């Protein structure tokens, strides 16, 4: 499938970018009906900015400079110029405004065309530091959730959830690593489901 026939998407990331890298490699270097054309980052120190050249994807640094409205307008200017249809959040550490989300709302879908991954079995442990919250709570089982983005914090319609058991031998780092490995698999599966229209 040529790029001209593919759905154009962008990834928003703020940090190391392991999930962003996973998404870009999956969509752009494997058989897929979607092409991630750009990566948007708000953090000038993010490691993902050092990887975009080898990933063969356009990158734009759009830092926060005191105004959410101005930052989001700058992001939308980039995305609209590239005709981006879908957004994948991958460790993006800012809450998107209602107006921004509505810009990607699809009436037929009944959802925004924005996906996010959360490192817990929602609705448990919403917000930041979910792995730490789950580990400190002593859960027997944790997991990851890929969901549509709505106007709440981690409240959008769930696309896929996958779980893993907490082991007696786990420390926090081993617990988190198993979760992150599951994140990469789950995000790929969620993208496939959405792009193939296989949602329930």
Q: Render pLDDT for 42-81 as a digit per residue (tens, 0 to 9).
A: 999 999 998 887 888 999 999 998 899 999 999 999 999 9
Identify whether 161 is part of a domain. Answer: yes
- pLDDT class for 183, splitting at 50, 70, 90? very high
Q: Render pLDDT for 149-165 as a digit per residue (tens, 0 to 9).
A: 999 999 999 999 999 99
Identify whether 108 is part of a domain. Answer: no
Identify whether 111 is part of a domain. Answer: no
The CATH number of residue 184's host domain is 3.40.50.170
Closest by Cα among 120, 109, 131, 84 to 193: 109
- pLDDT class for 1, splitting at 50, 70, 90? very low
Q: Which of 27, 59, 94 is the last residue of a domain?
A: 94
Identified catalytic residue from 35, 103, 118, 147: 118
Is 29 labeled as catalytic in the residue annotation? no
**Predicted model pTM:** 0.93
Q: Which domain holds residue 193?
A: 116-200
Round to whole Å and give the CA distance between 47 and 50.
6
pLDDT at position 29 is 73
Identify whether 102 is part of a domain. Answer: no
Round to whole Å and give the CA distance between 12 and 90.
6
Check whether residue 87 and residue 125 sit in a common domain: no
Check whether residue 75 and residue 151 sit in a common domain: no
Structural domain total, the chain? 2
Identify whether 66 is part of a domain. Answer: yes
Check whether residue 135 and residue 174 sit in a common domain: yes
pLDDT at position 3 is 59
């Amino acid at each position: 499938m040529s790029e001209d026939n593919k759905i154009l998407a962008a990834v928003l990331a703020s940090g190391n970018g392991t999930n962003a890298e996973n998404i870009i490699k999956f969509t752009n270097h494997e058989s897929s009906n979607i092409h991630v054309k750009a990566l948007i980052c708000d953090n000038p120190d993010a490691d993902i900015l050092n990887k975009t050249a080898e990933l063969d994807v356009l990158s734009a640094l759009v830092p926060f400079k005191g105004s959410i409205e101005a930052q989001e307008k700058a992001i939308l200017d980039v995305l609209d110029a590239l005709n981006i249809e879908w957004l994948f959040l991958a460790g993006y550490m800012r809450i998107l405004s209602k107006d921004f989300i509505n810009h990607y709302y699809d009436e037929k879908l009944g959802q925004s065309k924005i996906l996010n991954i959360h490192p817990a079995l929602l609705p448990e442990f919403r917000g930041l530091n979910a792995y730490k919250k789950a580990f400190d709570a002593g859960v027997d089982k944790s997991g990851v959730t890929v969901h549509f983005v709505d106007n709440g914090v981690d409240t959008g319609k769930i696309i896929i959830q996958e779980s893993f058991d907490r082991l007696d031998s786990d420390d926090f780092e081993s617990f988190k690593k198993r979760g992150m490995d599951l994140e990469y698999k789950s995000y790929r599966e969620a993208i496939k489901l959405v792009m193939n229209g296989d949602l329930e």
